[in-house]
Amino acid sequence: MVRSIRRHATELTIIIFMMRICDKTIKAVEKDRTLFISWGTLDLRLFILSAFILFLELFLIRWVSAEIRIFAYVNNLVLLACFIGMGSGCYFSGRKVNYLLVWLSLAGLVLMARSSPFIRITDFLGGFPDSNIWDYVVNKRFFSVLSGVSLTIGMFFAISTIFFPLGQMLGRMFNEYSNTAAAYSFNALGSIAGVWVFGAICGYFAPPWVWLLTGVCLGLVFFKKKEAAYHLLFIFIAFSAILYSRPGIFAVWTPYQKLEVFPAATGNGYNVLVNGTGYMHLLDISEEFTKKHFPDLARFREFNQYEIPFMFKKNVDSALIVGSGGGNDVAGALRQGVKSIDAVEIDPGVYYIGGMLHPERPYQDKRVNIFIDDARSFFKKAGKLYDAVCFGLLDAHTGSSSYNNIRLDHYVYTLESFGEAKKLLKENGIMTVVFDAKREWVGPRIFRLLRKVFGKDPLVFLIRTPGNVFGWGGLMFIAGPSDADIQAALDGNKPLKELVDSNKVDFKGYPVRLTTDDWPYLYLKNNSIPSSIVFILVSLVVIFVIGGVRIFAGSGRLNLHFFFLGAAFLLLEFQNISKSSLLFGSTWLVNSLNITAILTLILLANWFAYSFKIRNTKPFYALLFVSVLALYLFNLASLNISNYYLRAALSGIFLNMPVFFAGVIFIQSFKSSSDKSLALGSNLLGACMGGLLESLSFITGIRALLLFVLAFYILSYWFRPKVQNI
């Protein structure tokens, strides 16, 4: 109680302090002039505005996806809303800018996300038969679907409205520059700064009120004196709504997701929610604790999901556990006497909670080595063999990046991933996978993946305990190069054999597409776009077409050259982030580095175009086409060399080479453009088209999208301004 009072008192003090600083600063400015104009240069204005836009974009992607679950599975929808807002703003930069709209719309968005109807968007859209939303039952009611789509579009346009004035300001600043290369460079530098400011804040587990406060500091310089009171009012509303949290719950905002911790109703440890839904338990399953607190269930304790893997492989000297979470799997291995355990967990916040709150304190044991890393990344650098490789409950509830629809666990459950894990097994080692499959095709898919990798059927059986006292359970898959130890374990343990025989599952006759690194969509039944995404995207396309016809009919032509450059760029960025995830893991740091590499290459392209006075971009188009085709034909596995830094350098250059050539083309065309705000707006709107088409990877696979990238670059060449001799 005292701690809660102190926390809220601190938060109130910060709000009051922020308001006083804003008030004092605004009073020092001339009437009706922005704070920035009173002391800044155009370069600094553009730098800070670009940083503010990128920071606000990442802020909303993270926060909205945490508060409304469905956006965690289609989080590039928020990105598209940001691009639509900025692109439309640039297009209409000649109209009056209402900067107050940023904070008004932000406050409205926060209140929407906290209101019951919008919270239920996931309920409305999460029940399709082909849904990839975890733990939702099928619900085909038309009214529910219509309500979900309508509310989603409402949030989409609320986000777009936030960025509309910022796009107007960005377009105006570009039009003020005589040196276009310098303008674009300051824009890229500011964007890099925005990425790393947000990344640094999230890396220290800062909650959303810190994100908002930082965003306010970046946007403060654009306040106007006569509107200051309104700015502060809307900021205060947003701040108050973001501060709200449910009583009795300890929340941690990690670099990936929101974790909420509270004591378990059973009295055994703690429950952890991720983005508002069940995620994991921190359980004491020791024999002593169970006999004392759950005597009626003690007979179920022995065969819990965390210890069963080590009943099939006795005298384990070394074990690898990927997706070790809060420590349940590690505690089970320790109870079974495993001598050395390498535990891999991607989210430092999950490890932090497990280390602090797990009743058995498994992470404090000297036999345990902790690695905060992505599973695929660790497979490549493990450098040793194990008696057992165990996949914990790795079913993620969040995306791997803000720029694609890949989830954190997608690349873990692929043919290539299981193949890499198999290579880490000793001659008589075993590999186990436990998964709580909520869709009928997930179990058969894992079964067939393991059969493909090991050349024989894995052993599969179901684990359930009353009341989930000893874990959620799920399907347990046991496989290995040799079946001798597995059969010996069954023959030597009659209760285990009875458990397996009575719960055995047969997936032999169930046809299902295998997941690969090119098509890693574990939660999709087949190569099709999920119905929920189809409903949303079709609705948005219809609205865009109707709105676009009206807008462009009265305001001039869309610049198709820049439009197709933008569409190709975002699809290419999706490719790069996906492939970087395969080479280095789907960590937030890798994603930030990849975005930074792309923006740095844009800076190099600006420098190159400025230094060498490019007059004809046809050779660069030829190099661009060749580089995209090379990416399509090249086997990414060739870059999996052991030296991390050499791999990073080679992949960074190779994967992003098209960005450099496209950057040279863009800056040359941009310099010659008579209406830079129209060119930039068209480019951002084209990026939205590329973002919409990213969902085609659900059908074609990721690699085939490079053909669309190539087609867009060819179209940009076709519609290039002929007077530029390009």
> Which pair of structure tokens corresponds to residue 40?
């800044």
Cα–Cα dist 29/152, whole Å:
40
Whole-number pLDDT of residue 12: 45
Please say whether the beta carbons of 412 and 346 come within 8 A.
no
Cα–Cα dist 335/342, whole Å:
15
State the first-to-last Cα distance of the chain, in angstroms, to the nearest integer.
Answer: 69
Cα–Cα dist 89/97, whole Å:
9
> Which pair of structure tokens corresponds to residue 170?
């960005």
Q: Give whole-number Cα distances, 457 to 83, 291, 338, 479, 650, in Å.
A: 48, 37, 26, 8, 39
SS3 667: helix
Across the chain, which distance is largest between two alpha carbons, in Å? 87
Task: Tell me how many degrees the CA angle 238-235-75 measures, rounded to the nearest 5.
Answer: 50
For tokens 């320790």, the residue is 334
SS3 262: strand
Cα–Cα dist 170/156, whole Å:
21
Q: Determine the residue type at 527.
A: N
> Which pair of structure tokens corresponds to residue 191?
């964007």
Domain 258-396+414-503 identical in fold to domain 557-726:
no
Dihedrals phi, psi of 418, to nearest 5 degrees: -65, -35
Cα–Cα dist 306/304, whole Å:
6
SS3 386: strand
Residue 161 neighbours by CB under 8 Å, 6+ apart: 85, 101, 105
Please say whether the beta carbons of 624 and 658 come within 8 A.
yes
Q: Give whole-number Cα distances, 21 to 52, 398, 602, in Å.
A: 19, 37, 37
Pick the CATH number of 557-726 from 1.20.1250, 2.40.50, 3.90.1140, 2.40.160: 1.20.1250
CATH topology of domain 258-396+414-503: Rossmann fold (3.40.50)
Whole-number pLDDT of residue 126: 65
Q: Output the CA torsion 12→18→22→24 (10° steps).
A: 90
Mean pLDDT in order along the chain per 10 residues (726 residues): 42 44 42 40 88 91 81 73 85 86 91 81 67 55 74 87 92 85 86 90 88 90 79 84 72 85 80 79 83 74 85 90 92 93 91 91 94 88 92 70 61 91 92 86 92 92 74 86 82 86 84 88 84 76 66 65 91 76 61 77 84 84 93 74 64 81 90 80 84 86 91 93 59
474: β partners: 463
Count of beta carbons in the 10 Å neighbourhood of residue 539: 16
Note the residue count of the chain.
726
Q: Label residue 317 exposed, middle or buried (CB < 10 Å: 0-12, 13-18, 19+).
A: exposed
Query: What's the predicted TM-score (pTM) here?
Result: 0.84
Residue environment code for 56-81, b if the CB has 16+ CB neighbours within 10 A, otherwise e: bbbbbbbbbbbbbbbbbbbbbbbbbb
Q: Which H/E stretch holds residue 549?
A: helix 531-555
Cα–Cα dist 73/707, whole Å:
25
Residue 267 neighbours by CB under 8 Å, 6+ apart: 293
Smallest Cα–Cα separation from 353: which of 205, 233, 156? Answer: 205
Crossing angle of helices 531-555 and 676-693, in 10° steps, is: 160
Cα–Cα dist 408/366, whole Å:
29
Q: Determine the residue type at 88.
A: S
Domain ranges of the chain: 258-396+414-503, 557-726
Whole-number pLDDT of residue 369: 95
